[in-house]
Amino acid sequence: MSRYFDRLWYRVVLIAVLIAAGALCGTWISRLVVISSDRGQMRIFSERLLDRAVDVFTEADMMLTVINTSPYPFCSDKEISYLRDVLFGTRYLKDMGRVSDGFFHCSAVFGNGKKPMPLVAHDLETPAGKLIYANSRVAISNSSAPIIGIGKANVVLDPASFETLKNSAYAYVVMYNPQGTSSTVGMFGSLNIGKLDVKPPDGVGRIGDTVYRNVCRDMACVTVHAEVSQLEASAQPITTIISIFGATLGAALATIIILLRRNNLSMKTRLQQALGHNGLTMEYQPIVDIATGRTVAAEALVRWKENGEAIPPDVFIPVAEKAGLINRLTICVIENVLKDMAPVLDANPDFHVSINITAADLFNRDFSAQLASRLEEANVTSSQIVLEITERSTANAADAIEAIKRLRSRGHRIFIDDFGTGYSSLAYLGELNVDGIKIDRSFTQTIGTGSVSVSIVPQIIGMAHVHHLDIVVEGIETPAQRDYFAALVPKVDGQGWLFGRPTSAATIRELLNSLT
């Protein structure tokens, strides 16, 4: 066979055989691992879901009592203000409102509707008169959410209440089991939403390819499913053989791939070279005072061109995160911004530049010191560098609060970017103690369309103002959108193609010089 080794077809066949054999062995090994480890992992996951479910439903029940005992006239301005104050103190609610005679009248977020709206059919009614809607369309947007009501009150539960606990290995359903009834209704998760059933018995079991676990406590029940292998215990003796064989094939395949691709640079390597040879550049999009049209800031946007080809940030930034290069990339962005904009910032003390940072940067304890040293070298004050983080970066609340406090103590302002896309609440932002929000362009695009989503924009702005949050509206592209936000009180800043597309630092300098 050695005489065929240098022939291309032989190497292709060899690679195909190794790939097929390695994949088969990997499948066997992974199924064996699932069988041996799944039960313990499933127990931990189901208990975490159950703890969260009890917190969610307990808070909902407590708030229904608070609403029904409101000291103010039904849906009066004072009562709506009272409902908003109560909503800000909740963790897992998106809205709370008033209903009567089968109609929705008002809510903390929606305000007082022009006319009562009929309620949709409920999924379950308890003997005590509690109504459960497993997945009902909400008044404030085109989305759906679980709703619980009793008397003349209802509460909208946050559909993202369990997002931080999700595990791709499992499918689950969180069920509401009202006191005084043996019925349950699926409220959260990917299994049986809206399905009425009897309360499941606690325990584990297996049906075909599916292993399941049921747990219940108080008014909450959780069912977790996982697909597992049907390999029997008789397969255990060959585990070692398969492991060795799979490892050998994997090593051989890896060696062949490395040899065949030794002259091809990976995206990671290309990015490392770009970082090492100043291959990244910056563009800046103006942020303006919508009421006056005056440019007050700019957002820094990183760009990468290689051999004349532009590589989008949404391609290379995930690569940097996965490869452990994201901190290096962020520092490169900061250094380029200071190189471009230090003279501009020095000449315009009220002007600032916004820089996006990732969750890895936020939780890196060395990041704030790295940033401070570079600002000191460039003689730029920290108040002129605003840091933007995403809602997803703050999923771990305790660590996020500490990290934000650390950066704010050095004088930086912190904004939540693309606010509204993560379905987080302004109450949660109060816990994070950030300085402002950037309203996502999806809200801006509804202006002038007659969409019901438009009604939430003044509510977001008003409630953000109550909590002393600065506001930037993203994606302003038309005069109608600009005029809409210019008429709102309090004032907001805006960003979008109407005011200027991303451009060079030189153009920003010329723009600011023309205003002085």
The CA angle 76-77-82, to the nearest 5 degrees, is 95
Round to whole Å and give the CA distance between 482 and 244. 65
> Which whole number is the average pLDDT over 477-498?
90
Please give the pLDDT value at position 234: 35
Q: Is the pLDDT at 6 greater than 90, yes or no?
A: no
Phi, psi of 301 (to 5 degrees): -125, 125
Reported as a pLDDT band with limits 50, 70 and 90, residue 40 is confident
Q: Give the range among 283-287, 434-438, 453-457 with minimum mean pLDDT.
A: 453-457
The confidence score (pLDDT) of residue 14 equals: 59
**Which has more pLDDT, 52 or 265?**
52
Given a cut of 70, is residue 20 above it in pLDDT?
no
| Half-sphere CA count of 324, side-chain side, radius 13 A | 0
pLDDT at 413 > cutoff 90:
yes
DSSP string computed for 304-365:
EEETTEEEPHHHHHHHHHHHT-HHHHHHHHHHHHHHHHHHHHHH-TT-EEEEE--HHHHT-T
DSSP-derived letter for residue 504 is -
29 vs 437: which has the higher pLDDT: 437
| Cα gap 38→25, rounded to integer Å | 19
- The values of phi and psi at residue 43, to 5°, are -60, -45
**pLDDT score of 332 more than 90:** yes
Min mean pLDDT across 79-93, 250-264, 456-470, 489-503 is at 250-264
Name 302's bridge partners: 282
* Least confident segment among 6-10, 19-23, 509-513: 6-10
Distance between CA atoms of residues 357 and 482, nearest Å: 28
* Mean pLDDT across 103-119: 85
Is the CA virtual torsion 478, 483, 488, 493 positive or negative?
positive
Q: What is the mean pLDDT of residues 146-152?
A: 92
Task: Give the E-state strand segments of 142-279 in sequence order.
Answer: 144-150, 153-157, 171-176, 183-189, 196-198, 203-207, 210-217, 220-227
Q: What is the pLDDT of residue 182?
A: 81
Confidence of residue 39 (pLDDT cuts 50, 70, 90): low
The beta strands (E) that lie in 238-294 are given as 280-289
Say how far apart CA 184 and CA 218 lie, in whole Å: 12
| Residue 149, token pair as written in the block | 């009501």
**pLDDT tens digit sequence for 454-474:** 667 887 888 888 888 999 999
Query: In this structure, what token pair is assigned to residue 512?
Result: 């600011």
pLDDT value at 240 more than 60: no
pLDDT exceeds 80 at position 249: no
Closest residue by Cα to residue 88 from 72, 117, 66, 113: 66
Tens of pLDDT along 164-206?
A: 888 877 889 898 888 877 888 888 988 877 777 778 888 888 7
Give me the chain's average pLDDT, please: 82
Asked whether the beta carbons of 174 and 185 are under 8 A apart, the reply is no
Which segment of 12-21, 196-205, 217-226, 387-396 scores lowest on mean pLDDT?
A: 12-21
Q: At what angle do helices 505-515 and 326-347 cross, to 10 degrees?
A: 30
What pLDDT score does 476 carry? 94
Q: Higher confidence at residue 346 or residue 255?
A: 346
Nearest to 329 by CA among 392, 363, 282: 282
Q: Which residue did the predictor score with more confidence, 129 or 448?
A: 129
Say yes or no to pLDDT of 35 above 60. Answer: no
For helices 367-378 and 326-347, angle between their N-to-C axes, nearest 10 degrees: 30
Where on the phi/psi map is residue 208: left (φ > 0), alpha (ψ -120 to 50), or beta? left
User: Does residue 387 have a pLDDT over 70?
Assistant: yes
> pLDDT-based confidence at 5, cuts 50/70/90?
very low
Predicted pLDDT of residue 266:
72
Q: End-to-end CA distance of the chain: give it in Å, rounded.
A: 80
In this prediction, residues 211-234 reach a mean pLDDT of 74
What letters, b where the CB count within 10 A reaches 16 and e where it falls short, cover 211-240?
bbbbbbeebbbbbbbbebbeeeeeeeeeee
CA distance 179 to 60: 14
**What is the SS3 assignment for 212?**
strand
- Say which residue the tokens 């029997």 belong to: 232
